[in-house]
Amino acid sequence: MLFKVEMDVNVPPDVDPARFEQLKAAEKARFQELQRAGTWRHIWRVVGRYSNVSIFDVADNGELHDLLTGLPLYPFMDIRVTALCRHPSSIHEDDR
């Protein structure tokens, strides 16, 4: 199943900067692992904000939930999820 996921990262002012840098590095490593696996298919930065719009390809809602809540930056995120389905006019057969 495909999902559009919008993530806004909200960093509290009292977060230790060194700890936050560690979390960002862990988040990047996890993202790249999921991208290589084909699970995190696309990511786009939202201009001017600490936000992204991503496309995930997972088996079901539960898998997406577990994946998102396991992200290192999850405690700092506001997340919006939209389920997607293939448009009948799409020329891409892998849009399932």
Per-residue model confidence as pLDDT tens digits over 33-59: 999 999 999 999 999 999 999 999 999
Q: Is residue 94 one of the residues assigned to a domain?
A: no
Domain count, the chain: 1
Q: Is residue 95 one of the residues assigned to a domain?
A: no
Q: What percent of the chain has pLDDT over 70?
A: 98
Amino acid, res. 42: H
| CATH classification at residue 79 | 3.30.70.1060
Could you give the CA distance from residue 80 to residue 84 in angstroms, rounded to a whole number?
13
> DSSP secondary-structure letter at 13?
T
Give 79's contacts (C-beta < 8 A, 6+ positions apart): 5, 6, 7, 8, 68
Determine the structural domain holding residue 9 and report its residue range. Answer: 2-84
Q: Is residue 31 one of the residues assigned to a domain?
A: yes
Q: Is residue 11 one of the residues assigned to a domain?
A: yes
Tell me the average pLDDT across 18-32: 96
